[in-house]
Structure 1
Amino acid sequence: MRIGYLTHEPLPSAETSTEQLVWTVSMMARQGLEIDLIVPASRRDKDDGKTDPKDSIRRFYGSVSDELLDRVGLVPVWRPPFVQGNVRRAAHDVSAPFHARRVGYDLVYTRDLYALALTLTLGMPSVFETYRTDVNLLRRFAPFRKLVYKHPLLMGVVTHSRLAADYFVKAGVDSERVLVAHNGYSPSVMTPVQSKEEARRALGIDVHDRLVCYTGHVNPKKGVDILLHIARQVTDATFLIVGAIAGSDDERHFAKLIEDLGVSNVRLLPRVSPANVSTYLYAADCLIIPPTAGPLERFHRTVLPMKTYLYLASGRPIVAADLPDLGEILEDGKNAVLVPPDDVDACAAALARLMSDPRESDRLGSQARDDASLYTWEKRGGRIAEFLRARMSAPV
């Protein structure tokens, strides 16, 4: 089966979605699927015959991209170099489907809403992958739902959570066309395994400090603000917030908020490469996912964040909100401590309790590490490949 995977995100990119894409595509290819990754390109990519677009991907993603480069074709589709932002994405969402039709792929696979609508309109069997729930809730997506959900060439929808899958089924997608494929992690990015002391020495952090760590995007839509309010109550711990983009509006926003709240036990650190995240996780006494319902209920976009799987693999205790998406992976008292959403007092108490009880922390962390083995990129790629083969052989 020959698949054209359409993405309007340039590669490489610091966006988490591209890391997820690279791992998923490479592991699908490992299952024997023939895949071309159709990406936006600049005039330089088109005209400079000496430029290999795979080189920049190799440098950025490191070992994550080795299998991608070996097994997956990379097809840059040219766009005008002056096009940027949402206009750039829209241009690719038009040009990539027409390229896919010219090639004649057996199946088109994409995470891009408007590219999907066009591939179906052009008569190509297509699969949509998404973590989002908002496409089933907001009125502005009603035309998309009407065009796509009952289209005979929509071969499937791959979601990152049962929560998102249920929304698609309720909105009219046949349940047999929907696959829940939770994201995952690669054991290679957690290697070498480090003790807390080794990780702290590498980062220059006192081995006796109490340390709570968050890694990921630092912006209000991720609910990171609540961590500052929790830090005000857990004054005997240092909170590392890793993921700020240097010089960005979000970095300035949080730096000012830290100053305004007068919290002296928070360190706002810049984003690090995927290969370096593990050291911060191993250094922590506790890992935290912002315990607020805002990202899920207000923005409908942050559903089961990818950090969940790396957190599990680190073997450190996790504190998070008791929400339906996280509850698919995290179980209170088994591999995490789940607290009521937006309850700062409850979260502060949970952190204090864990950092005062090494035996309980070790028990939760050990179970978390065991559970992480259920969620690898390789297992995810295998599930998706099996689903695609079944859907393509099903009667239309």
Structure 2
Amino acid sequence: MKVLYVAYARMPTEKAHGIQIASMCSALGDQGAQVTLLVPTWTNHLTVSVFDYYSITSNFSIEYLPAGPHLPGRLGYVLRKILFAMSVFRRAGRVECDAVITRSQWVTWMLSRRCKVFYEIHDFPGLRRRFWWRLIRGARGYISTNQFKADKLCRIFGVSPKRVLVAPNGYEPKLFEFAADKNELRRELSLPAHKRIVLYTGNVYGWKGVETLAHAARMLPELLFVFVGGTDRDIVRFREEHKDAESILLVPHQRHSLVPRYLRAADILVLPNSASTIESRVYTSPVKLFEYLASGTPVVASDLPSVREIVDERHVHFFAPDDATSLVQALRDILVQPSEAATRAARGRELVRAFSWDKRARNILMHIRALR
């Protein structure tokens, strides 16, 4: 099967959507699909190849297409999306393909009469919903990263559930196939051997809930709170805001293949997503949640519907979103009941086996074949 995977994104990128895009292209290739990833031609300060950056097999091809000059403001942003979609339209007209997978509504609109397009839903527009639907209604099928969005699509627009595949994000099991113990990993990563470490990976902005975690760090100075990742600009801002918090350690963005080693080096992992945005509450399917579970390290997570679609109290410890006091209590519960924490972590590690990228790719290809 020939698949065009279209993403309006800088690749590689420090952001989680890059992990999802690269991992899915590789997983689809592992399942026998002939995949071409189409992305914009943008200047990128990350000079390493996509395959090396994400430690994936080079079993798909990448083409960079023009998206027009940089234009300021919201109008410029939308215009570049349209120009990129036009480039994709011209490219798709030159070579036959069996399916197009994209999260771009403009690509879906332009290609739906020419190709079998499968639109991947990562969020819902708050405004101009009818306009959004006009752009994506021609898709042959839909791929939703959680049940909430799938139900909403069917309820509001009358889409048949048979056309919608619920496929949460996932993780790559091979990245966790290493035998180093916690002490070895801490020496390797220059982390203190005798401190209890609470660790977070990802960007340090807004709805990620990192401010709640930083407040918790001030309330538990005996622990070390390690934040791994973020863009250079966000790290500078975050460091300035919390420069007086001695229990916070900021580690610059790391190549994705190193992240599992940080996860195993920690005592507790935190998913502190805020309830302040609808994206965080119900739309997201956090890649870091699957990787946290795969590490086997105890997890503390915000009690949100988006998180509970995957786990419950059998697998993680919950805390009230945006509540540092509740988070502190959850952390203390793990520290005083390590055997219970280990039991939940083991259950989480078993649960996440069902969410590999390869299994997600297999389900998507079955969905495409069923709707052809």
User: Does residue 1:311 correspond to 2:292, yes or no?
Assistant: yes
Cα distance in 2 for partners of 1:390, 1:4 equals 18
- Does structure 2 conserve the Cα–Cα contact (< 8 Å) formed by 1:100 and 1:108? no
Cα distance in 1 for partners of 2:48, 2:282 equals 32
1:339-380 CA-to-partner distances (Å, cap 9, x unmatched) read 222232221111012122221222122212212211111111
Q: What SS does the corresponding residue of 1:102 show, helix, strand or coil?
A: coil
The AA in structure 2 aligned to 1:372 is V
Q: Which residue of 2 aligns with 1:36?
A: 36
Residues 16 and 299 of structure 1: is their aligned pair in 2 closer, same or farther, counting only changes over 3 Å? closer
- 1:81-92 map, 5 Å: 86=77, 88-92=80-84
- Does structure 2 conserve the Cα–Cα contact (< 8 Å) formed by 1:235 and 1:265? yes
Shift of 1:78: 4.1
Cα distance in 2 for partners of 1:299, 1:371 equals 22
User: Does residue 1:198 correspond to 2:189, yes or no?
Assistant: no
Q: Which residue of 2 aligns with 1:360?
A: 340
Between 1:105-114 and 1:378-387, the stretch displaced more is 105-114
- Structure 2: runs of 5+ lacking an equivalent: none
Shift of 1:234: 1.9
Residues 118 and 300 of structure 1: is their aligned pair in 2 closer, same or farther, counting only changes over 3 Å? farther
Q: What SS does the corresponding residue of 1:325 show, helix, strand or coil?
A: helix
The AA in structure 2 aligned to 1:346 is S
Cα distance in 1 for partners of 2:36, 2:190 equals 43
The AA in structure 2 aligned to 1:59 is D
Between 1:81-90 and 1:367-376, the stretch displaced more is 81-90
- Does structure 2 conserve the Cα–Cα contact (< 8 Å) formed by 1:9 and 1:89? no
Q: Which residue of 2 aligns with 1:335?
A: 315
The AA in structure 1 aligned to 2:148 is L
User: Does residue 1:109 correspond to 2:93, yes or no?
Assistant: no
- 1:58-97 map, 5 Å: 58-62=51-55, 64=56, 66=57, 69-70=58-59, 72-78=60-66, 86=77, 88-97=80-89
Q: Provide the TM-score with structure 2 as the length reference.
A: 0.90
- Structure 1: runs of 5+ lacking an equivalent: 44-53
Shift of 1:131: 2.0
- Does structure 2 conserve the Cα–Cα contact (< 8 Å) formed by 1:189 and 1:274? no
Residues 300 and 285 of structure 1: is their aligned pair in 2 closer, same or farther, counting only changes over 3 Å? closer
Percent identical: 28
User: Does residue 1:130 correspond to 2:112, yes or no?
Assistant: no
Shift of 1:80: 5.2
Cα distance in 2 for partners of 1:55, 1:298 equals 31
Q: Pick from 116, 138, 151: which aligns with 1:166?
A: 151
Q: What SS does the corresponding residue of 1:167 show, helix, strand or coil?
A: helix
1:294-321 CA-to-partner distances (Å, cap 9, x unmatched) read 24x2677861210001100110111111
Shift of 1:252: 2.9
Residues 326 and 350 of structure 1: is their aligned pair in 2 closer, same or farther, counting only changes over 3 Å? same
Shift of 1:201: 1.7
Residues 34 and 208 of structure 1: is their aligned pair in 2 closer, same or farther, counting only changes over 3 Å? same
- Does structure 1 conserve the Cα–Cα contact (< 8 Å) formed by 2:105 and 2:135? no
Residues 168 and 279 of structure 1: is their aligned pair in 2 closer, same or farther, counting only changes over 3 Å? same
Residues 341 and 11 of structure 1: is their aligned pair in 2 closer, same or farther, counting only changes over 3 Å? closer
Cα distance in 2 for partners of 1:42, 1:356 equals 50
Cα distance in 2 for partners of 1:266, 1:128 equals 40
Q: Provide the TM-score with structure 1 as the length reference.
A: 0.85
Residues 73 and 58 of structure 1: is their aligned pair in 2 closer, same or farther, counting only changes over 3 Å? closer
Give RMSD over aligned pairs. 2.4
User: Does residue 1:276 correspond to 2:258, yes or no?
Assistant: yes
Q: Which residue of 1 aligns with 2:353?
A: 373
Q: What SS does the corresponding residue of 2:93 show, helix, strand or coil?
A: helix
1:86-116 CA-to-partner distances (Å, cap 9, x unmatched) read 3544421221023213323232221112211
Q: Pick from 117, 122, 134: which aligns with 1:146?
A: 134
Cα distance in 2 for partners of 1:303, 1:207 equals 34
Cα distance in 2 for partners of 1:282, 1:206 equals 14
- Does structure 1 conserve the Cα–Cα contact (< 8 Å) formed by 2:209 and 2:322? no
Cα distance in 2 for partners of 1:12, 1:139 equals 30
Between 1:107-116 and 1:122-131, the stretch displaced more is 122-131
1:261-298 CA-to-partner distances (Å, cap 9, x unmatched) read x4221112211110111121111111001153124x26
Q: What SS does the corresponding residue of 1:320 show, helix, strand or coil?
A: strand
Q: Which residue of 1 aligns with 2:236?
A: 252
Q: What SS does the corresponding residue of 2:174 show, helix, strand or coil?
A: helix
Residues 21 and 291 of structure 1: is their aligned pair in 2 closer, same or farther, counting only changes over 3 Å? closer
- Does structure 1 conserve the Cα–Cα contact (< 8 Å) formed by 2:281 and 2:305? no
Q: Pick from 347, 354, 357: which aligns with 2:327?
A: 347
Q: What SS does the corresponding residue of 2:92 show, helix, strand or coil?
A: helix
Cα distance in 1 for partners of 2:363, 2:197 equals 37
- Does structure 1 conserve the Cα–Cα contact (< 8 Å) formed by 2:274 and 2:280? no
Between 1:311-320 and 1:100-109, the stretch displaced more is 100-109
Cα distance in 2 for partners of 1:146, 1:80 equals 24
Q: Which residue of 2 aligns with 1:210?
A: 196
The AA in structure 1 aligned to 2:154 is V
Residues 75 and 147 of structure 1: is their aligned pair in 2 closer, same or farther, counting only changes over 3 Å? closer
Q: Which residue of 2 aligns with 1:223?
A: 209
